[in-house]
Structure formats: structure tokens, C-alpha cells
């Protein structure tokens, strides 16, 4: 019903308070401004402005129309901008899934740096556990995953970058009944004590656990922060990422013991959907760096 030019004229007349001032800003003659305003009023069948000798003021209907017109102008500008971005391979958002094994302190720095580079692109972050990151990538919920562990359980148009290996430690509270012993523990000696386990967040792919004895009770927790709270309280035993356990071992909140069958190291990687590549995702891949940088910043 109204063109971008129509709405712009109304906006400028309302701001400048006269047809002549609006004409000066829009590089038009006053008669053209007056004609446009009158045409819009005829379409609406209401008066938007009260005419005075050299000035105009908004009517109540005009105040409402100008407020709505300004919103429409913003939406039109946004549609134009987003259409140009799509044509140039930009995205409105980038979705990143992080495995809970990565360093949480690194996340806020990445977010800050991303928004400095892309102030108009949304960054969507989710935290996943074990196969949950692969599930998010395969299902299209994530364009990029950081800290994916174990074997790659999905196939598709994905690419990968090594992040090094994740070491695991068997830990418990200093006050736990097993803490008095230092010999390598066999499975039968551990099964009677609850294992602190994280719930795999995968929706479609098979769920997995890092460590669990046969017939052993579990205490299921949502993240490593909760797991360490339970371990420090002596509620159970568990195998945890070495880089997360080290500060707690140094402070004496936890101790480590050996297992007769140690948990093998987990290969870790960065993975992304090649079909989702756009300038923002490409920037993230460059920003995150090579394998050495990834391991140093996210896995230590």
C-alpha cells in the first residue's frame, strides 16, 4: 500500500516539522513532499498532519502512523541487508556445540571476539555430552562442534581437525573408603561403590559412558561441575578429564588412584558441516587455529 519512499517522506516531515525542511533533506521540491503526504492521507482517509503557516504538526492518527512507519522502515532495511548477506554467503546465525570436556573459561573469550568481528550475526552455543555433539552435527542443530571425543560415529559432508588426545584420571575424595589403598584396582573391588557418570545428550545416536563397571550403581549428573561436586563429597568414584581434575588434585580436594585396566586416551577433534560454510563459520575456523592451538587453549 505504501512504498519505502512514502514512509520515508512521512518520517522526515514528522522529524523536521515542515514540508520545506523535509524537501531540503530529501533533495526534493516542497510541492513533491506535499503531494506525497496528501496521497497517503487520501489512501488512509485520515489527516496525518495539521497544516499551519510554515509548519506542520502530527495529529493523533499521525503519531500512530509515524511510529508504525518507522518500524516498517527498519524492517525493510533489515530485509535488504539479510538478502544481500544470503547472496554473499553470510548467515544470520552460527550454531556451535561444545563437548563439556572443553575449558569453559575459553568460551566467553570466543564469544566476545566473534561479536567484535560479526556484530550482526547471532552465535548459538549449546553444551553436549559424549555422542551428543556428533548427534547435534548430524541432525543439523550445530554447524560446528568443539571437543568431540571418541570415534566419529556419523558420516556425511563433514570435515575435521585434530585437537589432540584427552587423558582420563580415576579419582575419589580423600575421605572415600578406597582412598587408603594405592594398588591398581580390579573391577570387582570397585563395583560396590557408585560411579559418578554424565548422561550422554545424544537424541538419535547410541549413548555411551566413559567408565562403568558391570552391575555398578550410577549417579547420573548433567555436567562435569556436578560430577566434581559429588566426587568431592565422597558420594562415588569416577574417571574424569585430567585437565579438569588437576586443580582439584593440587588443592587436595581429590586424589587419584590407578586402575588395573586404565581408561584409554580419547582422540579429540573439531568438526564442521561443509555445507554450512559461510564467512562467519570460516572466521571461526581460522580463529580456533590449528591442532596445537586447539589442544593448548581448549584441552589443557
Q: What is the pLDDT of residue 152?
A: 65
Q: What is the pLDDT of residue 155?
A: 67
Which of the listed CATH numbers 1.10.10.10, 3.40.50.2300, 3.40.30.10, 1.20.1090.10 matches domain 4-87? 1.10.10.10
Query: One fold for both 93-165+267-298 and 168-264?
Result: yes
Rounded Cα distance, 95 and 84, in Å = 21
* 91: nearest Cα among 295, 300, 289, 276: 276
Confidence of residue 121 (pLDDT cuts 50, 70, 90): confident
The pTM score is: 0.68
Which of the listed CATH numbers 3.90.420.10, 3.40.190.10, 3.90.1150.10, 3.40.50.2020 matches domain 93-165+267-298? 3.40.190.10
User: Which own/partner contact pairs does 85-93 have at CB distance under 8 Å and 24+ positions apart?
Assistant: 88/279, 89/277, 89/278, 89/279, 90/121, 90/278, 90/279, 90/280, 91/121, 91/276, 91/278, 91/279, 91/280, 91/281, 92/121, 92/122, 93/121, 93/122, 93/123, 93/124
CATH no. for 168-264: 3.40.190.290
Q: Give per-residue pLDDT as tens, 10-23.
A: 999 999 999 999 99
Looking at the chain, list the stretches that DSSP marks H as alpha helix, in order from N- to C-terminal side.
4-16, 19-26, 30-44, 60-87, 105-117, 132-139, 187-190, 224-232, 242-250, 279-288, 291-298
Question: Does residue 276 carry a pLDDT above 70?
Answer: yes
Domain boundaries, the chain: 4-87, 93-165+267-298, 168-264
Amino acid at each position: 500500500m505504501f512504498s519505502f519512499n512514502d514512509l520515508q517522506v512521512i518520517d522526515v516531515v514528522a522529524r523536521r516539522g515542515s514540508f520545506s525542511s523535509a524537501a531540503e533533506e530529501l533533495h526534493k521540491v516542497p510541492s513533491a513532499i506535499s503531494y506525497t503526504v496528501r496521497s497517503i492521507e487520501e489512501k488512509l482517509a485520515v489527516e496525518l498532519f495539521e497544516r499551519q503557516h510554515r509548519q506542520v504538526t502530527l495529529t493523533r492518527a499521525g503519531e500512530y502512523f509515524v511510529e508504525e512507519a518507522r518500524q516498517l522502515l527498519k524492517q525493510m532495511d533489515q530485509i535488504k541487508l539479510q538478502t544481500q548477506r544470503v547472496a554473499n554467503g553470510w548467515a544470520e546465525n552460527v550454531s556451535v556445540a561444545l563437548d563439556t570436556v572443553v575449558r569453559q573459561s575459553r568460551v566467553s573469550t570466543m564469544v566476545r571476539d566473534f561479536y567484535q568481528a560479526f556484530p550482526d550475526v547471532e552465535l548459538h552455543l549449546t553444551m553436549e555430552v559424549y555422542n551428543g555433539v556428533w548427534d547435534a552435527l548430524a541432525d543439523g542443530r550445530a554447524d560446528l562442534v568443539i571437543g568431540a571425543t571418541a570415534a566419529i560415529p556419523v558420516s556425511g559432508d563433514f570435515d575435521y581437525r585434530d585437537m589432540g588426545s584427552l587423558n582420563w584420571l580415576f579419582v575419589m575424595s580423600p575421605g572415600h573408603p578406597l582412598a587408603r589403598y594405592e594398588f591398581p584396582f580390579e573391577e570387582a573391588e570397585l563395583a560396590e561403590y557408585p560411579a559418578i557418570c554424565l548422561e550422554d545428550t545424544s537424541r538419535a545416536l547410541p549413548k555411551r559412558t566413559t567408565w562403568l563397571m558391570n552391575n555398578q550403581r550410577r549417579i547420573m549428573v548433567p555436567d562435569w561441575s556436578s560430577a566434581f561436586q559429588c566426587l568431592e563429597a565422597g558420594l562415588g568414584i569416577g574417571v574424569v578429564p585430567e585437565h579438569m581434575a588437576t586443580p582439584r588434585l593440587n588443592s587436595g580436594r581429590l586424589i587419584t588412584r590407578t586402575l588395573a585396566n586404565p581408561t584409554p586416551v580419547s582422540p579429540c577433534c573439531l568438526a564442521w558441516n561443509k555445507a554450512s560454510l559461510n564467512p562467519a563459520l570460516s572466521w571461526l575456523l581460522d580463529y580456533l587455529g590449528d591442532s596445537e592451538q586447539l589442544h593448548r587453549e581448549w584441552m589443557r
